[in-house]
Structures are given as structure tokens and as C-alpha cells.
Amino acid sequence: MNFILYVYRRPNMFIVNNNLFGNIGYGELEKLFTIENYSVESGKELTLYHPERFLNMVEQQLLVSRIESAGYGNVAIYTHSVQIVQTVHNENIRVIQDEIHDDDFKVSNDSVGIPKFEG
């Protein structure tokens, strides 16, 4: 099995939820967890975009083993789930460098309404 896990450090989940592109693979994901001993013809490809939106934490930890036992050939998963990342070997992980910078997330006392205690 050729397996690659693409990890987004800071995904924009609003964009993923608002387009059909983000639902690619949902049908196969549902079959993996609803049909007992689910299997596919050898060599079938599977692509999942942020499957953690549909799975609980236990299912996220079981995802890779379910995919392996189903018999997929080429698998690509795009995720930010720690539970999924922990179940994959390092050589199969690719980290996506996004364009968000740490400076965009600085919080000051003025921006969150925390009163200043001066004097």
C-alpha cells in the first residue's frame, strides 16, 4: 500500500466545510466504519479530506488500520488530527506549510477587553 498523510498545521476549516471538494472520500469513510470486514478490489485509490470532521476520537485512531485491512492501493489523507497522525509512520507524513504567520495571531490586552490595572 502506498500511503501518504498530509498534515496541515493550521487548516482553515471554514473553507473546507463550504465546498464539495472537502467531502471527497466521505462515502468510503462511511463504509469503513459501518460495514463489518469491508474490503475493496486491490489497488483501489482512496483520498480523504479532513476525516476528523466525521469521526470520533476512537475512530480516528482506528482509521489507518481499517484502511489497511480493507486493501486499498494508494491512500492520501489530508488532516490536522493528532489522533490520526500518531498512527502513521514518520516516513509517510508530509507537513503542509501554510501561509499563516505567527504575527497574525498576536493577542494584546486591548484586543480582548482585559482591563489594565495601572496605579
Q: How far is CA 87 from CA 12, 13, 27, 69, 113, in A?
A: 23, 22, 22, 14, 41
Residue 116's SS3 state is coil
Element (H, E) at 95: strand 93-96
**Which residues fall within 8 angstroms of residue 57, CB to CB, at 6 or more apart?**
83
Residue written as cell 484502511? 67
Segment 75-111, tens digit of pLDDT: 999 998 999 999 999 999 999 876 655 555 455 545 4
pLDDT at 72: 94
pTM recorded for the entire structure: 0.75
Cell of 38: 469491508
